[in-house]
Amino acid sequence: MAHELDVSPSDRERPGSPPVVAPRSVDLARWCASRGWPVHPLTPGRKTPTANCDRCRQPGHTHKGCACIQAGRWCHGFHAATLDFARIEQWWFNHPGLGVGVACGPAHLVVIDIDAHRQQPPDRDRLLPGIPIPRSVDLGGLANGFHTLGVLAALRGAVSPADDETTLRVRTPSGGLHVWYRAHGSHRWQCSAGSSSTRALAWQVDVRAHGGYIVAPGTTTAAGTYTAIGPAREPAALPDWLARELARTGHLPPAHVPAPRPVPPRARQAVLAAGGGRDAAGRALAKVLGEVAACASVPEGAAFSAKLNRAAYTVGGLVASGHLSADAAEQALRDAAEQARPGQERRYGAIIRSGLNAGLLRPLSPGGRA
């Protein structure tokens, strides 16, 4: 590798290995950056980021657009993480006592942080969120994150990340374990704390991903050194079973829900003719036409056909009850469908005709019901 690290003899046999004893921090930072992992300084002797300057500590100030980050200063923790070797040398050569943190999101890392704290377990429904544990199951001896993660892996017929020798694992000074994985695809996995009542993988198991950082192996704090263990010295791909569990437990941001699209002009005229949306029939028409038009924001998987069919059925019922003319009804549907799926008249024309014919047989009352 470009920068040799101070490692044990056994690790010198593996090119590119992270350190198992503390190197110079600048070498460690360069080692991480050479792997595409943006780095930022940690407070000397601690695992927390260095403090902000006075200006960046002002209420309401955030990392967005911060001049300090643009100027190459380390304010705002992992938001200041960099791959710039010149900046890295400026930071750590001038301040060799700084530790090294890695910004997980930009590094495309998901790190499973297993704690080994001696604590009283919570209620069994919070040990493995979303997985009920019957009262008949004896939980005697369950004391930490190694146990809960082991139970989860056993339920899924998989190897616990704590025992996964295919990936980089780092022993923490407190006796915990950081299991490093490489995220695949475009998923932006989110952080969580194992004690959270909202998003958590397992009790005493934290997740470090987008919006978080992890202490680099080889960093030394007042409590000890973060030490790589086992044969692997690089993160393996996130296992499929673990990705499914992270998705199940809410570690992906909510899907983007597009804002309602406006009803097309000619379709809006039909709404006005039906009461302008002020009465029940007009509101029903505006709702179903808006749902069809909104499919323009979602090229696939928007249930366009089902929404158009429902709209045509509703419009047919309004025509049958005298709230709308047949010509205006069909034109309103075609305008909404064309906005959502331009150039697909053959496809949406058949859906409109079918839905209208069915709706004409079921007149809708002013309340919108047949």
Q: Is 240 exposed, middle or buried (0-12, 13-18, 19+ CB in 10 A)?
A: exposed
| 291 in the same domain as 240 | no
Tell which wins on pLDDT, 143 or 344.
143
| 276 in the same domain as 185 | no
SS (H, E, C) the chain: CCCCCCCCHHHHCCCCCCCCCCCCHHHHHHHHHHCCCCEEEECCECCCECCCCCHHHCCCCCCCCCHHHHCCCCCCHHHHCECCHHHHHHHHHHCCCCEEEEEHHHHCEEEEEECCCCCCCCCHHHCCCCCCCCCCCCCCCCCCHHHHHHHHHHHCCCCCHHHCCCCCEEECCCCCEEEEEECCCCCCCECECCCCCCCCCECCEEEECECCEEECCCCEECCEECEEECCCCCCEECCHHHHHHHHHCCCCCCCCCCCCCCCCHHHHHHHHHCCCCCCHHHHHHHHHHHHHHHHHHCCCCCCHHHHHHHHHHHHHHHHHCCCCCHHHHHHHHHHHHHHHCCCCHHHHHHHHHHHHHHHHCCCCCCCCCC
288-321 tens-digit pLDDT: 888 887 777 665 556 778 888 888 888 888 888 8
In this prediction, residues 210-227 reach a mean pLDDT of 94
Q: Please give the radius of gyration of the chain, using alpha carbons only, rounded to the nearest integer.
A: 29
| 133 in the same domain as 241 | yes
Q: Is the pLDDT of residue 19 over 70?
A: no
| 332 in the same domain as 213 | no
| 303 in the same domain as 199 | no
Indicate the number of domains in the chain.
2
CA dihedral (233, 238, 241, 245) in degrees, to 10, reads 120
Q: Is the pLDDT of residue 13 over 50?
A: no
CA dist 355 and 337 (Å) reads 13
Q: Which amino acid is at 148?
A: T
CA angle at residue 214 from 218 to 63, to 5 degrees?
125
Residue 1 lies in a domain: no
Residue 141 lies in a domain: yes
Q: Is the pLDDT of residue 364 over 60?
A: yes
- Give residue 159's pLDDT: 96
- Give residue 249's pLDDT: 93
Final residue of a domain: which of 222, 248, 274?
248
- Give residue 5's pLDDT: 38
Q: Which two tokens stand for residue 129?
A: 């969120």
Q: Are 341 and 333 in contact (CB under 8 A)?
A: no
Q: Is the pLDDT of residue 10 over 70?
A: no
- Give residue 8's pLDDT: 34
153-207 tens-digit pLDDT: 999 999 999 999 999 999 999 999 999 999 987 788 999 997 777 789 999 999 9
313-352 tens-digit pLDDT: 888 888 888 877 888 778 888 888 888 788 777 778 888 8
- Give residue 272's pLDDT: 53
Q: Is the pLDDT of residue 70 over 90?
A: no
Residue 59 lies in a domain: yes
- Give residue 270's pLDDT: 55
Pick from 31, 43, 23: nearest CA to 83: 31
Final residue of a domain: which of 248, 281, 297?
248
Residue 212 lies in a domain: yes
Binning pLDDT at 50, 70 and 90, where does residue 284 land?
confident
Q: Are 275 and 322 in contact (CB under 8 A)?
A: no
In this prediction, residues 29-38 reach a mean pLDDT of 94
| 183 in the same domain as 84 | yes
Residue 258 lies in a domain: no
| 186 in the same domain as 320 | no
* Mean pLDDT of the chain, nearest integer: 82
- Give residue 294's pLDDT: 77
Residue 207 lies in a domain: yes
| 92 in the same domain as 17 | yes
Q: How many residues are there in the chain? A: 370
Residue 368 lies in a domain: no
- Write out the residue range of the structural domain in which residue 343 sits: 265-360
CA dist 338 and 349 (Å) reads 10
Q: Of all residues in the chain, what percent carry a pLDDT higher than 90?
A: 40
Final residue of a domain: which of 219, 248, 277?
248
Please count the other Cβ atoms lying within 10 Å of the Cβ belonging to residue 355: 21
Q: Is the pLDDT of residue 107 over 70?
A: yes
- Give residue 265's pLDDT: 59
| 202 in the same domain as 297 | no
| 270 in the same domain as 243 | no
| 302 in the same domain as 204 | no
Binning pLDDT at 50, 70 and 90, where does residue 233 land?
very high
Binning pLDDT at 50, 70 and 90, where does residue 271 land?
low
pTM across the whole model: 0.64
Residue 293 lies in a domain: yes
| 226 in the same domain as 198 | yes
289 φ, ψ (degrees, to nearest 5): -70, -40
Q: Is the pLDDT of residue 218 over 80?
A: yes
Q: Is the pLDDT of residue 268 over 70?
A: no
The most confident of 30-39, 77-86, 184-193, 349-358, by mean pLDDT: 30-39
